[in-house]
Structure 1
């Protein structure tokens, strides 16, 4: 039995199990202060251990970021320059290791989801695979040559600059860059631009979908050019807007304009840009996949 935590900026989701067909005791609670939230997660794991009569063999944490993933860094496992108040500098890995005494697999929430999708979901048998989430923020995780992509930091695709939609005069909401991709196309940007929640756009929905597709298709084509993935998985609450994924695919084909001579970029685009095979469980299963990797190492 392993434990998984999908540590989001809005809520934490916790579970125990071994995979998609064995996912137990899924529970969630709001992300408040670091001390309170991490203590709740630790209490959850201890309670599940008591109920099962056995200890977990590892914990996987798929975490909101930015985070320090350099294992030789003194701040490995810490959240770094997050806009989430109070969470900058939080030692996530150290706190869990000290409390639970088990190996802790740690990565970004989107890298965790990318790993889960590659094992059990829409990315099975494919490499590279990219998982994109569009919700409170915009992020992407990538599996390249069977390894999660790290480096100077980790992919931060939400903050790339994009061409503005011709009809968009919205200034953007990113506290760092204003009108970067996240500032123009994440959930808070949609709500601020249209003065409605994405789920309640009403007669504005078609216009909102067209603008959102314009921005996300630019991201999709950037990923195609930079990483050449065999599949791009788009998840997150915003991608559930009716008509968004079909519009995104169409715009991506238009942007590529025949430059990439592969069916995935033309006739097979519907099977190239896809929703998560694991649905809303991609993140929490990402935690389990990270726990499994921690044990195998």
Structure 2
């Protein structure tokens, strides 16, 4: 079996082909700039593998993933990448590479990869929530091998959080909601607050602790609503030191109200190295869709 993966990120596309054991056979990375050029490079990559059985696509968005929706496969007008608004990310690939496709969000793909990885060495793992913290904030939920949601993808980066006492003057940067989680804790908020990239800000700067306070609230909300086996934080903003801050605030906010595993096991960074969570997740979703035909984020193997 030959499986394809498209990690369609807002900054770059990572296309890969792997075997049924999810081992990468070949991979190519290129910038996600002009939609026509980027999708043509994607098609050209997969045309090198005529025995391909299926493709999993984990796309930036918001993207319409409901198969029965007339805009299935379309990057919606809510995306900050203006050139991609209204672009159908599935059509171009499907028209030239005639194999079943599973479409979901970029963070759902990563969540599924982490779920498969955790499940492979721990039979007790039935649910994983994956937060990505980078240019934006998003999250994916996998429960017993399935995504959730009936009307569309989750937008957990846009929940409201309690404001940090030292951050009340900051209005947030989300163009839709101002001071939602993404507006307060995504990577670009460093520039908005301090006038410089987060990579230039030492971990001792109080801004890191403020952002950890917000992300810990998201983890508490997830704990109390979903009750997952583990919560994973990935994305360009994350580091082990920052994760420890999140754990500390999480413990304070949860205040022992419900039982959770030890925090170094419950709140983690990705198990899969080199940002490979989405690629593994795409392979696994492509493998599932080989048997059932087209698939999307909510209806497969149910």
TM-score (norm 1): 0.91
Q: Which residue of 27, 47, 52 maps to 1:56?
A: 52
Could you tell me how far 1:184 is from its partner in structure 2?
1.0
Q: What pairs up with 1:104-115 in 2 under 5 angstroms? A: 104-115=101-112
Tell me which moved more, 159-168 or 73-82. 73-82
RMSD: 1.8
| Aligned CA distance change for structure 1 residues 191 and 24 (closer, same or farther; 3 Å) | farther
Q: Indicate conservation of the 8 Å contact 2:58/2:278, yes or no.
A: yes
Residue of structure 2 in register with 1:296 after alignment: 291
| 1:39-81 per-position Cα deviation (integer Å, ceiling 9, x unaligned) | 111111113x2xxxx4211111111111112121111222212
What SS does the aligned partner of 2:224 have?
helix
Q: Could you give the per-residue CA deviations for residues 163-215 of structure 1, whole angstroms, max 9, x where no partner exists?
A: 1111112221111111111011111112321222111113x643122111101
Alpha-carbon contact 1:107-1:290 (below 8 Å) kept: no
* Comparing 114-123 and 227-236, the one that deviates more: 114-123
Query: Tell me, what secondary structure is at the counterpart of 2:205?
Result: helix
Distance 1:102 1:96 in 2: 9
Aligned partner (choices 284, 288, 291) of residue 279 of structure 2: 284
The answer to whether the 8 A contact 2:16-2:24 is kept is yes
The CA deviation at 1:132 is: 0.9
Q: Secondary structure at the match of 2:228?
A: coil
Answer yes or no: is 1:255 the counterpart of 2:256.
no
Say which SS state the counterpart of residue 239 (structure 1) adopts: coil
Tell me the alpha carbon deviations over residues 89-127 of structure 1, each in whole angstroms, 9 at most, x when there is no partner.
211122211110111111011111111111124785312
Could you tell me how far apart the structure 2 residues matched to 1:25 and 1:41 are?
Answer: 13
Give the conservation status (yes or no) of the 8 Å contact 1:212–1:244: no
1:188 maps to 188
Distance between the aligned counterparts of 1:215 and 1:116, measured in 2? 25
- Look up the match of 2:12: 11
Indicate the residue corresponding to 1:199 in structure 2: 199
Alignment of 1:216-227 (within 5 A): 216-227=215-226
**Alpha-carbon contact 2:161-2:217 (below 8 Å) kept:** yes
- Give the stretch that moved more between structures: 70-79 or 56-65: 70-79
Aligned length: 286
Distance 1:20 1:244, change over 3 A: farther
Match of 1:117 in 2: 114
Unaligned runs of 5+ in 1: none
- Residue 72 of structure 1 corresponds to which residue in structure 2? 68
**CA distance 1:31–1:263, change in 2 (3 Å):** closer
Question: Of the candidates 88, 92, 100, which is equivalent to residue 89 of structure 2?
Answer: 92
Any idea what SS the aligned residue of 1:28 has? strand
Equivalent in the alignment of 1:272: 266
Distance 1:20 1:205 in 2: 42
**Which residue in 2 is equivalent to 1:208?**
207
Range that drifts further, 215-224 or 287-296:
287-296
| Alpha-carbon contact 1:4-1:14 (below 8 Å) kept | yes
Q: Which runs of 5+ in 2 are unaligned?
A: 293-302
Alpha-carbon distance between aligned partners in 2 of 1:20 and 1:170, rounded to the nearest angstrom: 47
Give the alignment's TM-score, normalised by structure 2.
Answer: 0.89
Aligned partner of 2:40 in structure 1 is 39
